[in-house]
Each structure stands twice: as structure tokens, then as C-alpha cells.
Amino acid sequence: MTRSGGNTDPLVVLTADLAVVLKGWLDKHNGRFPNLDHNGVFVTGHQYIQNQQPHINARSIYRILVCEAKHTSLRIADEILIAIDAPEALQDGRIVVIPNPLWNHEKWLVWKSEQGCI
């Protein structure tokens, strides 16, 4: 999630959709399936994600869980989903990728042109 709620990224996901997947994983991880690190120490779900993706901090995870912003950047969503071994959530319909609604039409066209889409 960006500080501006996804304003800087061309593609975003609805934070509420990401939160459902993340909460489900955290419930399993922290409850029935605790993970141990290489020293046999319990690692919470938040810590596990941060170990897998060091630049995803606890605050970012919290902001997603409480749906602080309506949108989360695709980059952040993808990194979290990879960390929790659920990248298929972007392909199976649980999380839908959309154009950033905070971008104006001109900004969107410039980005698409830079990507070779138009």
C-alpha cells in the first residue's frame, strides 16, 4: 500500500479483497498452523511476511487488515500474496486488479503508451 492509498501506482486492488485473503491466512498461520523459524522459535504471521518481504512493514499489513485505504498497489498486494504463498488469488477472482481510479485519463494514457499498450 502506498502512503497515498495507491495513488502512485497504475494498477491497484481493492484493499477489502486483499484483507479477506490476508486475514484468512493469518488466522490459519497464527492459530492452527504456527510456523517455527530455524531456531524453533514461533514466528507470527506478520513476522513471517516481513521475513519473506523485508520492505513490507507491520504498519502496511495493519493498514490492509483494517482497510485504511480503499486501494492497495498491485506491487504490494503481489508481494504479500507471494509471501503467504497465495499468488493465485490474483488469478482466481478473489482479488481483482483494476486501473488506478485516482489517475486521470491523461496520466493513464501516458503509462499505457510507455508499456507499449497503445
Count of structural domains, the chain = 1
Q: Is 2 among the domain residues?
A: no
In a domain, 1, yes or no: no
Contact 24, 65 (CB under 8 A): no
Asked if residue 3 belongs to a domain, the reply is no
pLDDT at residue 7, rounded to an integer: 64
Grid cell, residue 113, equals 503508451
Does 93 or 47 have the greater pLDDT score? 93
Residue 22: give the domain boundaries: 11-114
Helical (H) or strand (E) element with 11: strand 11-14
Whether 71 contacts 13, CB under 8 Å: yes
The reply to whether 100 falls in a domain is yes
Q: Report residue 22 as a C-alpha cell.
A: 490476508
Nearest to 30 by CA among 41, 42, 18: 42
Rounded Cα distance between 31 and 12, Å, is 30
Q: What are 35's strand-pairing partners? A: 43
* Residue 5 belongs to some domain of the structure: no
Span 23-81, pLDDT tens digits:
999 888 777 555 665 565 666 788 888 888 888 988 999 999 999 999 999 999 999 99
Residue 6 belongs to a domain: no
Query: Residue 94 to residues 36, 58, 90: CA-CA distances in angstroms?
Result: 28, 23, 7
41 in a domain, yes or no? yes
Whole-number pLDDT of residue 117 = 82
Residue 1 confidence (pLDDT): 47
